[in-house]
Amino acid sequence: MPSDVNPALNTMRQKEFERFSALIYDEAGIKIPPAKKTMLEARLQKRLKTLGMTRFDEYAAFVFSPEGQRQEMIHLVDVVTTNKTDFFREPQHFDFLVKQVLPNLHKRQGAKDLAAPFKIWSAGCSTGEEPYTMAMVLYEYAQANPGFRFNISASDICTKVLKTAMAAVYPEDRVDTIPLTLKKKFLLRSKDKKQGLVRICGELRKHVKFQRINLMDEELDIAELQDVIFCRNVIIYFDKPTQTRLMHKFHRRLAPGGFLFLGHSETLNGLDVPFQSVASTVYKKL
């Protein structure tokens, strides 16, 4: 090892790992097993470097201090969260939304209530690809169904990804999964083509409201009841008791007959929650 590298910077004692993993579980609901100790070390080293610290015990003392609780928790959660997403990820969900959910909602509400905006929440929106996909799909639906209006709420616990989502600027290779007709309609290319960047057009951006929400909070800060909640590829990081508590929170934030969409590898099987399965990883509020 080079002489200018402090070995203590690269070593987290078991006691410190247990304190950090317990704190992350309490704050964000994310379980970090002992096998992920090296991963946690590597990610937290970024924070040590930023703060000018050289030892994990020094960082722990700060994190668990009143000042650290106020200032550092957001950054700690940012570095340990996983943010993998794509435009039109799991496209069958958007087909189900347009072909099943929206027509049934109209039928249930009746013609007199069609002017009420459709409300959908992307919970765990990461860098924004999911809510902007929603916006494209719903905008197209509105074009074919005059009078249809919609509001999209999008939230994440990670402030870093929310900044990217609100900027709505993406490398060109990130938008490969968007159909060509929608690219032409909703994407703006950078004037400097060498940058290889595109931006979601303002007409779509105005439909999406971003905010930081910690799904572990006792009450989720969503003002209105939602018709649909997407929470995909999020609960795989939670244990069953945490999943159950979150599903009950979602149940309270869904309008009667509302729908919940989970990720392709997620299920409510084995959880005592008031939802009925209506399609693969799609559930309806009971």
**Which residues are the active-site residues?**
43, 156
Question: Which tokens in the block code for residue 128?
Answer: 């924004």
DSSP 90: S
Q: How far is CA 180 from CA 176, 177, 185, 232, in A?
A: 9, 9, 9, 25
CA angle, 246 then 251 then 253, to 5°:
95
Q: At what angle do helices 14-28 and 56-63 cross, to 10 degrees?
A: 30
Distance of alpha carbon 28 from alpha carbon 109, whole angstroms: 37
The CB-side HSE value for 83 (13 A sphere, CA atoms) comes to: 23
What phi-psi label fits residue 83: left (phi over 0), alpha (psi between -120 and 50 degrees) or beta? beta
Report the run of H or E that residue 211 belongs to, with start and end: strand 208-212
| Contact predicate 225/255, CB 8 Å | yes
Q: How far apart are CA 2 and CA 171, in angstroms?
A: 37
Query: Three-state SS for 164?
Result: helix
Q: With the CA atoms of 64, 65, 71 and 74 taken in that order, what torsion angle do they form, in degrees rounded to the nearest 10?
A: 10
